[in-house]
Amino acid sequence: MRLPLQIVPVGALFVACTTVRPVQPAELSPPHAPTRVWVTGANHSTVVLDSARVSGDSLVGSVNGQAQRLVLSEATVLRAREPSEARTAALVFFGVSGAFVLVAHFVDKSPAPYCAENICAVGNCC
């Protein structure tokens, strides 16, 4: 059961470094075709197509491993996941900053002086 707990942070990093944005049918052709496309229809239902590509007036791909053809005129929104440079930069910045703060916090912790007697004077402890 330890393996899934180790995968969660990696999955979170992947999600943090990407964004989902609307795409046009022309953007679904090689060489930069997305691997997965979310297609929202007029009835507000969403279908996720893997390996989607445009073929004539249709969008062709697979849904749960089964070949599927959707007419483009019936789709209201096409969305695809892509890398986000801004999110990646923010993740790196806050990760490095957090690591720096933790290191500074633990390095700056000097042990309290040990007092054998209860002496109160300037520079001494009570």
What local confidence, expressed as pLDDT, does residue 1 receive?
Answer: 46
Is pLDDT of 70 > 80? yes
What local confidence, expressed as pLDDT, does residue 126 receive?
Answer: 55
What local confidence, expressed as pLDDT, does residue 102 receive?
Answer: 84
- Residue 105 — φ and ψ, nearest 5°? -65, -45
Q: How many domains does one find in the chain?
A: 1
Q: What is the CATH number of the domain that holds 49?
A: 3.90.70
What local confidence, expressed as pLDDT, does residue 112 receive?
Answer: 60
- Domain assignment present for 21: yes
- Domain assignment present for 111: no
Pairing label, strands 58-63, 46-55: antiparallel
| 86-114 tens-digit pLDDT | 777 777 888 888 888 888 877 766 666 66
- Domain assignment present for 35: yes
Strands (E), 1-126: 18-22, 36-41, 46-55, 58-63, 66-71, 75-83
pTM (two decimals) = 0.58
Q: Please name which of 108, 109, 113, 107 lies closest in space to residue 126, comparing C-alpha atoms.
A: 113
Q: Please name which of 90, 92, 61 lies closest in space to residue 78, comparing C-alpha atoms.
A: 61
Domain ranges, residue 39:
2-102
- Domain assignment present for 81: yes
Contact criterion met (CB below 8 Å) for 76 and 83: no
CA of residue 22 relative to chain centroid, distance: 17
- Domain assignment present for 110: no
- Domain assignment present for 54: yes
